[in-house]
Amino acid sequence: MLKRFYPDYESDSAYMVDYEALYRRGYRGVIFDIDNTLVPHGAPATEAAIAFFERLRALGYRTMLLSNNKEPRVKSFADAVGSGYIYKAGKPGREGYERAMRNMGTVPGNTIFVGDQLFTDVWGAKRAGIFTFLTKPIHPKEEIQIVLKRYLERVVLYFYHREERG
């Protein structure tokens, strides 16, 4: 039952994923969560984030930001990094992920999702058939509803790591 929430891969940071190797394996689109995945919650795009998206474009990737946040927050970040975006995405519903892939011209088999939350980011991407990367949250300060979900995430990740060691 818990396996539906398991990420395909974990990374300390969205910036540390080996996108070059994934590109060689045929991946062409990357969908990102923003808050606590690319920058701390509510923070503007950093120079590092802007350079990161330039690097992804240079590799040949198309990118989309997928956020449950409101448009002003998502649009300002997207404009700064030069990415497409979907706001009020309804994660973990599949529709936002599917729309992101349509906008990028990709399909589940050549799309990656990178986010910091199991029950919204990873679960939704897995429901859409997308290869998932769970990152560690960038900043420990989070909204109360996310803090509560983190306790449940720890339970799921405990079993995930136990199975992984087999």
Rounded to an integer, what distance in angstroms lies between the CA atom of residue 126 and that of residue 104? 18
Question: Comparing C-alpha atoms, which of 35, 23, 38 is closest to residue 106?
Answer: 23
Rounded to an integer, what distance in angstroms lies between the CA atom of residue 98 and that of residue 55? 24
Report which secondary-structure segment, H or E, holds 76: helix 71-81
- For the chain, 166 residues long, give each residue's pLDDT as a single digit of tens: 678 888 999 999 999 999 999 999 999 999 999 999 999 999 999 999 999 999 999 999 999 999 999 999 999 999 999 999 999 999 999 999 999 999 999 999 999 999 999 989 999 999 999 999 999 998 766 666 666 676 678 777 778 878 876 6
Domains and CATH numbers, the chain: 2-165 (3.40.50.1000)
SS (H, E, C) 23-53: HHCCCCEEEECCECCCECCCCCCCHHHHHHH
The overall pTM is greater than 0.95: no
